Structure 1
């Protein structure tokens, strides 16, 4: 029983040792792993990632569900248990074989066999040498592990120092970049100031500076040609050197030394290589920056003068804007006045056109009356009487329309005053609302038609009475007997054509209106 328990207790270790590389889950959980726990965790994570990648590459029908994975784990666990049981059975079989009488007999017989002392000593020596070599190897392994740990610590320390140096260098680079950006901002600001001062300088001085720049460029070109002639065949090597150095990073420059001007400029390096001091003097003479303003008060005076000019221009612009605003207001007012005047003139034109039409109608009436009077049907006495009656009628109309006057006016003067009065009334009538005017016209038209109807009825009665009277007279008259020869018909003499003039109904309507409104 004890042998079986011992065999079963040793099985997990032997099984775990046998499958050390196959899977981590089969190891003995009571034994600490020989390798680092972090490496073990990394291996587990790596294995999980590989399984995930493998699952991603599989097709849909090849993938397994969560339940399938659990069943697979159960199957693996059962297989491991079976292997462990088989190993335990094999160990129990070995122990049972050893516990048998035949094995004991063979062991006792082997112990009873006599060995030689030399063989025993040689075996002991070999065992000692093996143990010594194992101890030496173990000591060497310990020393190498300690040395490896020291080297690893030194490497980590060096690595940390390198990281700190890199951080310092990056900090310096950031500081240099910030200084460069700051200096670039300052340079842009100074260039703006330079452009501003150049624009403020007179044009003659600007032309002179342009000429100086052109001369400096020419001298610079001469220097380049001279440098090329001096260098000769070394140009190719310099170009190769330049190509090889182009890929290298420039050295880190201290911002303090850069501020103090320790770094030489490109122009200084070029001027140092020039052979002739005359060209250097000329180049320095033409390349030296110059300003038109030698004293700050000159710039202040110029700025004050420009400010005054700007103020004057602003004042002039404000004055022009005010004058333009006044002109716009006057233009709007004049436009409104002109529109009102045009409307009034249009109304006056309409009134005058209406008056002209009325005058034309009066002219037609007067022509008709003149023709009637000048036709010869009336005699002079009859015309005089008619003129007197017309004068009386005109006087009555004048008294009714205008009023009483002390002066003795002729008929024509009264007619002109009546016409002027009529024109005034017509103008006033035009101001009357059209709806009211139409209503009054309808009323007057209705009254006129009723009056015409009454007059027609009276005229028909008179004609009927006249016919009755004539019939009665014919009935009461004596009968005349014809005497002599019977009258024979003869040709009728040509009858005189009586001129008939059409009476203008519109004139009658207008007269009725005048009688209604002015009587």
Structure 2
């Protein structure tokens, strides 16, 4: 009774209605059961299939964020493997003790259910736990949570089964596609085989066509060679025919004139009768029937040809002789003309030289006769000149039997000199040059001997004068010595010019008067 009274006195506990676990709506957000009930919507609506993957991706993102936060922590705050496992066990224990947290997190409930299935783990965790009596409300709340968890697990299993069915359907589609690809590959292989077969047949047909073409080309070449052989034979026969026609024409030309006249009359008669066949036979008719006739004509022609050849040879010989004589005469006349022209030019040069010499001699004669020499001296000089001219005349021409004058003797000497010059030009040049060199050498020797003789005479005169001065009585001068006025110095080049002029005059005197 006391117990009953105690129980009756104790105030009744308020009935706590357990709150429903949060439900994830279609948009992936957590919504409480009360709010879902107040909204009047079914809190157990299943999200679409594509949102399951977004939930999984969201959980992975949360795990990545947790790992990133753990990496940024200091070393002494970073968790270890044991601390992470203890944290998971604490979460499981808290989920077992507080049904609200277990109902809010489906993943934690799955882990708790897996842990409760392990008997050793349950005994280890509940060994030191104090067991308290549970009332009816707590029991009902737990049952409700268990129902909700089982319901969520069933929904998940259905969804997994649905996804498996979809995967099987996709696999069947993939298998069908593979079979279609295999069929397409088989059809493509058959197409390739058919194509190879067609290509082989086409190659065989092309080879057969090529072989036939080569045979046709060989046949065409053979026919072309036959045609060329026939054409060459035709051309050879045509040449032979033309040659025979020329022979026939030659024989017709050898025929006598009477036969030509008879043949001409017959042709006119045939033309009047207009018979073509007889005209052709008449054209082919030949005068000569026997080869002996041709031999007779050929012998006659040969004799005529021989006589003509002999006459032509004789005329050619006479023509060659005439040409040779004409050529020799022309060469001789050309040579004589050249010689005469050369002689004329040489004579003109000699005339110019002689005229210059005559002018020079005339001037010298005028100088000699200009009061410096007396008439007696001039007469003596002229007489010596006459003697020299007469001596030269006697040596060159002969004796002076006709007693010609000096001028006539000089004219004769000049004529003789011209003749000698003309003969000198006809002589060989080598002999003339050798004779000139010999004469020049003799003249130089004579001049040298003459100079030596003059030097010896001059030396003798000097010695004679010195001897006379030595033998003569000395003259004594009385009075002041006479001193002549000094002459200006003589320039060397003037003295040299005077010496050259004097030597030139001496050479001229020796040339003209010796």
TM-score range relative to shorter protein: 0.3 to 0.5
TM-score, normalised to structure 1's length?
A: 0.35
Higher relative contact order (CA 8 A, sep 6+): 1
TM-score, normalised to structure 2's length?
A: 0.36
Q: Which has the larger radius of gyration?
A: 2
